[in-house]
């Protein structure tokens, strides 16, 4: 039940998130070279409407305005990512002072605005030259990633509140190299597992490099999109085993090495027909288990799975784009059933109970590790009303339900330290281009003008008061709100 005026702890951190390729534009300015997403966008048929990140939100030039908006909304923290090909064009060798200078100015402006910078080193824009040498299927990429991490740690240093190595390595490995619906568009089960391992290794090496520069007390994190999958029939052993298998290949493939220092035995057994995992070298798993200060969790929706009996065509309603190669490596006999609605514009079901379940599950598995929700939010087909505003009541309702679920997890004793709303701005939503809008600030892609949506004003009031009012009080909140 919704607490009528749920109050959040004083030190709970409220923020919003973006990623470099999704907002920056300026893809060939000041020494930046192409990333795998630049290449992927130029491959016909890969991105809806042929959209690219060439201009995106033009944040590279408009960042002072964006920092002013962040400050105006009262955000306490801003999660953004660094574009590796800006900082180290080509991914190895010389660093580009102009690339670092861009982020250095941004960080200084955030600090001046009283906003904590929370930085992600890798939110999917791998330098194309590294991909040409095998990308994340090549062990060498993990070593290059650590060099890059060490360099930026030295440059941005203790101005960063939390250093996050990777964003959603599951997507990088299994959508990027497995089903190929993300850059670099490789479709191979073996490549997906190799990439997953080298991402784990890269995380550990980069985390250790950051700590070597900035000291042991540096706040170190990784962001995972952990999947909440439920059995179609909870009484069926076969369905429960399907969920166990998906938990291994979606969640424990990262949680295992990163937090426990070992891949789970059931994962190795389930994927034995694909690989013997001989690309895992002695000591890799221990390296991946660099101690973390906080675990970032991204949550959007849930899924339902069961063993496929082969009596009817396999259902693949897993929320990811279609491909002839499944991202679910080793799980060919598992199917995903469509979920009951309501849905967002992504076709993802809206289910705040999944947020509570996930935080409770991970908080119970790892009781000593603080958690932070590093992404949560919703795409809707927003419209600009006659009054020039965006009255996105559907987004407010989504946020209300999910933030309430975060509060329920805290009530249940789970150590959740903060919440970052995805996203600050409408932006380039990967394979869906500009068609799907997640922002609490609207971006007009013709003029690049920014307009704070109702959801932005509502979130701002929540941060100011630390109180989540009942949903039906939203219009009063918006009328009373200070931000417009």
Q: How far is the CB of 17 from ligand FCB (least distance, A)?
A: 8
Taking contact as CB under 6 A, which single stretch among the options 143-151, 165-173, 211-219, 257-265 is the one that binds ligand FCB?
Answer: 165-173
State how beta strands 441-443 and 450-452 pair.
antiparallel
Nearer to ligand FCB, 182 or 307 (CB): 182
Nearer to ligand FCB, 96 or 427 (CB): 427
Q: How far is the CB of 428 from ligand FCB (least distance, A)?
A: 9
The only residue of 150, 168, 392, 408 in contact with ligand FCB, by rule CB under 6 A: 168
The yes or no reply on residue 430 touching ligand FCB (CB under 6 A) is: yes
The yes or no reply on residue 63 touching ligand FCB (CB under 6 A) is: no
Nearer to ligand FCB, 380 or 422 (CB): 422
Q: State the Cα–Cα distance between residues 478 and 484, nearest whole angstrom.
A: 9
State how beta strands 220-224 and 294-298 pair.
parallel
The only residue of 131, 270, 285, 375 in contact with ligand FCB, by rule CB under 6 A: 375
Q: Report yes or no: 285 and 257 within 8 Å, Cβ to Cβ.
A: yes
Taking contact as CB under 6 A, which single stretch among the options 35-43, 163-171, 202-210, 311-319 is the one that binds ligand FCB?
Answer: 163-171
The yes or no reply on residue 355 touching ligand FCB (CB under 6 A) is: no
Site string for ligand FCB, 282-321 (x = CB under 6 A): ----------------x-----------------------
Taking contact as CB under 6 A, which single stretch among the options 167-175, 285-293, 411-419, 464-472 is the one that binds ligand FCB?
Answer: 167-175
Catalytic residue among 24, 285, 375, 408: 375
Nearer to ligand FCB, 134 or 319 (CB): 319
The yes or no reply on residue 455 touching ligand FCB (CB under 6 A) is: no
381, burial (CB in 10 Å: exposed 0-12, middle 13-18, buried 19+): exposed
Of the candidates 299, 446, 315, the residue with the CA atom closest to the CA atom of residue 360: 299
Backbone angles phi, psi at 274, to 5 degrees: -95, -40
Catalytic residue among 131, 150, 168, 429: 168
- The DSSP annotation for 280-328 comes to S-TTHHHHHTPPPSEEEEE---EEEEEE--SSSPPPB-SSS---SS-SS
Of the candidates 169, 173, 179, the residue with the CA atom closest to the CA atom of residue 326: 179
Q: How many CB atoms lie under 10 A from the CB of residue 224?
A: 21
The only residue of 136, 263, 422, 459 in contact with ligand FCB, by rule CB under 6 A: 422
The yes or no reply on residue 254 touching ligand FCB (CB under 6 A) is: no
**Preceding amide of 238 cis, omega within 30:** no
The yes or no reply on residue 19 touching ligand FCB (CB under 6 A) is: yes
The only residue of 35, 116, 167, 194 in contact with ligand FCB, by rule CB under 6 A: 167
Q: How far is the CB of 171 from ligand FCB (least distance, A)?
A: 6
Taking contact as CB under 6 A, which single stretch among the options 142-150, 242-250, 422-430, 474-482 is the one that binds ligand FCB?
Answer: 422-430
Instruction: Mark whether 29 is an active-site residue.
Output: no
Q: And the tokens for 434?
A: 């500009």
The only residue of 141, 225, 339, 431 in contact with ligand FCB, by rule CB under 6 A: 225
H or E segment and range at residue 374: strand 371-375
With both helix axes pointing from N to C terminus, report the angle between 139-156 and 189-214 in degrees, rounded to the nearest 10.
30
- 62 SS3 class: helix
Nearer to ligand FCB, 168 or 426 (CB): 168
The residues that bridge with 220 in the sheet, in sequence order, are 163
Nearer to ligand FCB, 55 or 483 (CB): 55
Of the candidates 69, 61, 141, the residue with the CA atom closest to the CA atom of residue 451: 69
Residues 6 or more apart from 365 whose CB is under 8 A from it?
255
Question: Number of residues in contact with ligand FCB, rule: CB under 6 A?
Answer: 12
Q: State the Cα–Cα distance between residues 190 and 196, nearest whole angstrom.
A: 10
The one-character DSSP state at 73 is: H
Instruction: Mark whether 140 is an active-site residue.
Output: no
The yes or no reply on residue 336 touching ligand FCB (CB under 6 A) is: no
Nearer to ligand FCB, 20 or 326 (CB): 20
Q: State the Cα–Cα distance between residues 353 and 338, nearest whole angstrom.
A: 17
Q: What does the binding site for ligand FCB look like in residue numbers (CB under 6 A)?
A: 19, 22, 167-168, 171, 225, 298, 375, 422, 429-430, 438
Which amino acids are annotated catalytic?
Answer: 168, 375
């Amino acid at each position: 039940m919704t607490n009528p005026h749920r109050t959040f702890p004083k030190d709970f951190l409220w923020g919003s998130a973006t990623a470099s390729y999704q907002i920056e534009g300026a893809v060939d300015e000041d020494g930046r070279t192409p990333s795998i997403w630049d290449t992927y966008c130029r491959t016909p048929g890969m991105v809806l409407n042929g959209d690219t990140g060439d201009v995106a939100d033009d944040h590279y030039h408009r960042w002072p305005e964006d920092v002013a908006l962040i400050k105006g909304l009262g955000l306490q923290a801003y999660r953004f990512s660094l574009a590796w090909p800006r900082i180290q064009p080509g991914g190895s060798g010389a660093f580009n002072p102009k690339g670092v200078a861009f982020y250095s100015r941004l960080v200084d402006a955030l600090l001046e605005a009283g906003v904590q910078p929370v930085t992600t080193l890798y939110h999917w824009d791998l330098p194309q030259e590294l991909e040409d040498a095998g990308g994340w299927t090549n062990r060498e990429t993990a070593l290059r990633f650590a060099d890059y991490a060490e360099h930026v740690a030295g440059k941005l240093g203790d101005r960063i509140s939390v250093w996050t190595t990777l964003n959603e390595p599951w997507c990088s490995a299994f959508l990027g190299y497995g089903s190929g619906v993300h850059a670099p568009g490789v479709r191979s089960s073996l490549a997906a597992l190799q990439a997953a391992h080298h991402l784990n290794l890269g995380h550990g090496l980069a985390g250790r490099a950051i700590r070597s520069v900035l000291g042991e007390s540096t706040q170190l994190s990784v962001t995972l999109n952990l999947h909440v999958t439920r059995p179609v029939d909870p009484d069926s052993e076969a369905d429960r085993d399907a969920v166990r298998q998906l938990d291994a290949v979606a969640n424990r493939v990262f949680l295992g090495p990163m937090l426990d220092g070992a891949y789970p035995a059931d994962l190795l057994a389930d994927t034995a027909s694909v690989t013997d995992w001989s690309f895992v070298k002695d000591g890799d798993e221990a390296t991946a288990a660099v101690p973390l200060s906080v675990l970032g969790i991204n949550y959007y929706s849930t899924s339902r799975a069961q063993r496929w009996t082969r009596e009817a065509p396999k259902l693949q309603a897993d929320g990811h784009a279609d491909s002839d190669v499944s991202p679910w490596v080793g799980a060919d006999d598992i199917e995903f059933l469509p979920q009951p609605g309501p849905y967002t514009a992504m076709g993802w079901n809206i289910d705040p109970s999944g947020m509570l379940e996930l935080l409770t599950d991970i908080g119970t598995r790892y009781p000593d590790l603080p958690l932070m929700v590093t992404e949560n939010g919703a795409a809707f087909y927003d419209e600009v009303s006659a009054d020039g505003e965006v009255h996105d009541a559907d987004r407010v309702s989504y946020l209300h339900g999910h933030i309430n679920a975060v509060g329920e997890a805290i009530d249940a004793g789970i150590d959740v330290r903060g919440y970052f709303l995805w996203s600050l701005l409408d932006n380039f939503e990967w394979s869906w281009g500009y068609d799907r809008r997640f922002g609490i600030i609207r971006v007009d892609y013709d003029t690049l003008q920014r307009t704070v949506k109702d959801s932005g004003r509502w979130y701002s009031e929540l941060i100011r008061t630390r109180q989540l009012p009942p949903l039906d009080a939203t219009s009063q909140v918006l009328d009373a709100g200070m931000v417009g």
